Amino acid sequence: MDDLIPIAALNQYAYCPHRCWRMFCLDGFVDNQYTIEGASLHERVHTLGEGHREETWQIRAIWLKSERYRLIGKADLIEETDGHWVPVEYKRGKRGEFDNDALQVCAQALCLEEMIGSPVPVGYVYYAQTHQRQPIELSATLRQMTIEAIAAITEILNTGKMPPAIYGPRCKGCSLYEQCLPKATEKMKRYLEAI
């Protein structure tokens, strides 16, 4: 595939592969309270600019790209201190129970490493509700999970094959619930298997 994968797709895929398919194969994005608040936050941080905070150089809304992993996306914030670079992703709310934000930061780090030619061992997610920076250790395990997610997304984008909609705790805050109807889909599937 020649097309680059949006880094944001990593977050969606890690949250729910079916949601990722809907958003990037069906162009089916639908807002809810959480996505509107998130978009508003990103509008504020997605203004290209640079500056210094004490010894740290900060660059906002910079495009990141990896030829090796076929990734592209805008980082909210990249910081450099004494030659050490870190990506910082802004999120509304507080730290969730899923690892989707970590995968997104890891994908940003993979791009950054390729662009600057040196390792990026840590990234951060800034949660607006708690005003906390959550460090994300870019471990071998997280990197492997991210690379596997990239491969799975590539497959979805290449084939258009729909991952199943599986009802679970993630559905509660999902803006695509009304389009997806995972409970009804599962019920229908069981009915068809029984006849």
Interacting positions 161-190 with ligand SF4 (CB under 6 A): 165-166, 170-171, 174, 176-177, 180, 182
Query: Please, what is the minimum distance in Å from the beta carbon of residue 142 to ligand SF4?
Result: 22
- Total residues contacting ligand SF4 by CB under 6 A comes to 13
For residues 26-48, b (16+ Cβ closer than 10 Å) or e, as one string?
eeeeeeeeebebbeebbeebeee
Query: Please, what is the minimum distance in Å from the beta carbon of residue 25 to ligand SF4?
Result: 12
Question: Of the two residues 18 and 91, which places its CB atom closer to ligand SF4 in the complex?
Answer: 18
d(CA 62, CA 59): 7
Interacting positions 3-62 with ligand SF4 (CB under 6 A): 16, 18-19, 22
160 CB neighbour count, 10 Å cutoff: 11
d(CA 70, CA 48): 23
Asked if 139 and 55 touch (Cβ cutoff 8 Å), the reply is no
Interacting positions 73-92 with ligand SF4 (CB under 6 A): none
Question: Of the two residues 10 and 174, which places its CB atom closer to ligand SF4 in the complex?
Answer: 174
Task: Report the interface residues with ligand SF4, using CB under 6 A.
Answer: 16, 18-19, 22, 165-166, 170-171, 174, 176-177, 180, 182
